[in-house]
Amino acid sequence: MKPTALLIVTGAALASCNDSPEIHEKNASIEQVAEAAGKADAASGVVLRAGQWRLSGTVEEMSFPGMPASAQADVKRMMGEKNNFTTEYCLTPEEAKRPRGRFFGGRQSDNCRYESFDMEGGKIDAVMRCEGQPSGSMTMTISGTYAPDNYSTTAAMEVAGNGRSGMSMKMRSEAHRIGDCDKASGEKAS
């Protein structure tokens, strides 16, 4: 999974109101977490704040245990400025009221489940695990804070390769609602 996609995943999971109801899920699919969030928001009258959002992220650490130091240095050099990025996206009123599974996990995936997903009182803590062939398994831990018009997260990802060296990454992201969506707005990356 690319760093940009991971930060959108972690950020998207937080774009909710500070007065949001509690969500506590264990061993849940991405769709189950989205459904729980939709039900909780509908029951409380709290909806996501629709509009144009700007997400900025930084890959703070990246390591490849078992890979020679010179090869790790080459990978980090190739990443270069990709360690920092900014993306804008439009969250429509419909999406804000009824988030779909992709909002909480990037896309529906039968091989990914939340071991835990806890969201309440402006804070989130979650652990997602994905099993995949031939890439091995990935575990992502997410923590952060959120309010109606902004959020910030930290995420740590561990990838264990099937017979190959794995990878670990730590990322930080911040997002702010920057206004209403443009008519022709889609996702824009810079």
Task: Please give the structure tokens belonging to residue 159.
Answer: 């990838």
pLDDT in tens, 107-138: 556 788 999 999 888 888 999 998 876 667 88
Which distant-in-sequence residues (6+ apart) come within 8 Å of 65 by Cβ?
165, 166, 167, 168
pLDDT in tens, 44-84: 544 468 899 999 999 888 888 777 888 877 877 776 656 78
Instruction: State how far the Cα of 178 lies from the Cα of 149, in Å rounded to an integer.
Output: 8
Domain range for 164 is 3-189
Q: What's this model's pTM, rounded to 2 decimal places?
A: 0.71
Return left, alpha or beta for 122; rule: phi > 0 is left, psi -120 to 50 is alpha, else beta. left
Instruction: State how far the Cα of 131 lies from the Cα of 82, in Å rounded to an integer.
Output: 26
Q: How many structural domains compose the chain?
A: 1
Beta-bridged to residue 86, according to DSSP, are 56
